[in-house]
Amino acid sequence: MTEVRSLATANLTKAFGGVVALDGATVTFRHGQVNALIGPNGSGKTTFFNCVTGMIRPDSGQTTYRGQDITRRAPHAIVRAGIGRTFQLCRVFPRMSALDNVLAAVRPAGLVGQLRGARARVEVDRAWGWLTRLGIEHLADVEARTMSWGQQKLLELAGVLMSDPETVLLDEPAGGVNPALLDRIGTLVRELNAEGRTFVIVEHNMDLVMSVSDHIVVFDRGRPIAEGPPSLIRTDERVLGAYLGV
């Protein structure tokens, strides 16, 4: 059952001109766990996320989720299938309030309807709930552009969670975040995982990776070179050579 419900790829390949970003990447992320995807800059991690979530089309290979082929689906269809993601560079509406940002994330025709004032009470309550859960409810009426980078990352995550994804992909959640907010993100990931959500995290902050992850996949040059629990990855010679430069 776990295997059927996993997010997995088989021979996923993507090149940009003469540069191969993904080179036949075959990976299975474990359902119900916190998975991490690590590797040096340029190893294909974000390209992998983009292919898996339909932002770009792979040249070849396959992505499956819950046993279904999602390789050619549009991004919104992949969200409906149960996969949500954040981005390395936050995607928020800078001139909209935090509350409106979260509400916009769940309206397919949504933004237009929202600007007309067509808000369902249940959605407003859920949005407030996520803002409160992430500790930014005091910013509900504040424009996103005035928020700190870390607060914007939390806001983007709140929007993702509004779609109630079973699997959440986080692209560098620690980037530019102060230690207090970083601790909050780490705690939230573990809490949400305990409540049943699967995570896949692309991250360079090894303290965060080692503290929250159950399973780690290491990329180098567009393909996985090692995987396992943090205790094994810390001492794997291939990881030390490719990622840590030892």
pLDDT at position 16 is 93
Mean pLDDT of the residues in the chain = 88
pLDDT at position 113 is 52
- Is the pLDDT at 200 greater than 70? The verdict is yes
- Label residue 2 by pLDDT band (50, 70, 90): very low
pLDDT digits (tens, 9 = 90+) for 93-131: 999 999 999 998 775 544 555 554 555 778 889 999 999
Q: How far apart, in whole angstroms, are the C-alpha atoms of residue 94 and residue 234?
A: 39
Mean pLDDT, residues 204-213 taken together = 90
Mean pLDDT, residues 214-240 taken together = 88
Determine what percent of the chain is predicted with pLDDT higher than 90: 63
Q: Is residue 140 within 8 Å of residue 172, measured between CB atoms?
A: no
CA dihedral 52, 55, 83, 157 (to 10 degrees): 130
Most distant CA atoms of the chain, gap in Å:
58
Q: How far apart, in whole angstroms, are the C-alpha atoms of residue 201 and residue 37?
A: 6
pTM, full prediction: 0.89
Mean pLDDT, residues 227-234 taken together = 90
pLDDT at position 18 is 87
Mean pLDDT, residues 62-82 taken together = 93
- Label residue 179 by pLDDT band (50, 70, 90): confident
Q: Which domains does the chain have, with CATH numbers?
A: 1-82+165-177+198-246 (3.40.50.300), 92-164 (no CATH)
